[in-house]
């Protein structure tokens, strides 16, 4: 699947099986929100990014309307993905049970904090929000973060 965004030239490329994997994990956590990290690679010209895998947090806070992940104890997993597969952090994902894929004010603030933290090397992390019901994914939206704003991919 290839997605484009009117606000920038960065294409997002991913396999549907990855989205399916995210859906399955999110549904298991219903009615709570759940999420994790997106890993992949940028093309040499930085015009596309391929999402290849996810990492799930060990520590998090979750409710039907909240998800806060921690990066605690994940360092080894990120290093392994980099050394073995040349994949690195490109963004975040979380679910909205019985909700829309629109980001909340809390989501935007979390992205601002993430993008400005020393933990993250990239300036434009992606955010994937999937809306789910008890049984399956209803919809998904990718967002591109830039200068304290989120821009949706169609």
Q: How far is the CB of 121 from Zn ion (least distance, A)?
A: 23
Can you tell me which of 36, 57, 107, 137 binds Zn ion, judged by CB under 5 A? 107
Number of residues that bind Zn ion (CB under 5 A): 2
Residue 71 or 141 having the CB closest to Zn ion = 141
The closest residue (CB) to Zn ion is: 107
**Using rule CB under 5 A, residue 92 touches Zn ion:** no
User: Contact region for Zn ion (CB under 5 A) — 1-9, 38-46, 77-85, 99-107?
Assistant: 99-107
Q: How far is the CB of 27 from Zn ion (least distance, A)?
A: 16
Q: How far is the CB of 140 from Zn ion (least distance, A)?
A: 12
Q: How far is the CB of 16 from Zn ion (least distance, A)?
A: 22
Rg (CA), the chain: 14
Q: Rounded to an integer, what distance in angstroms lies between the CA atom of residue 55 and that of residue 77?
A: 8
User: Contact region for Zn ion (CB under 5 A) — 23-31, 40-48, 105-113, 144-152?
Assistant: 105-113
């Amino acid at each position: 699947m290839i997605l484009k965004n009117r606000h920038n030239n960065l294409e997002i490329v991913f396999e549907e099986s990855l989205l399916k994997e995210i859906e399955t994990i999110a549904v298991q956590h219903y009615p709570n929100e759940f999420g994790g990290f997106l890993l992949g690679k940028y093309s040499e010209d930085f015009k596309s990014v391929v999402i290849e895998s996810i990492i799930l947090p060990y520590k998090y806070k979750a409710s039907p309307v909240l998800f806060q992940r921690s990066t605690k104890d994940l360092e080894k997993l990120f290093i392994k993905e980099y050394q073995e597969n040349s994949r690195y952090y490109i963004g975040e994902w979380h679910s909205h049970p019985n909700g829309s894929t629109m980001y909340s004010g809390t989501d935007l603030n979390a992205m601002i904090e993430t993008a400005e933290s020393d933990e993250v090397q990239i300036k434009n992390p992606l955010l994937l929000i999937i809306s789910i019901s008890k049984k399956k994914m209803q919809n998904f939206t990718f967002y591109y973060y830039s200068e304290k704003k989120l821009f949706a991919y169609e």
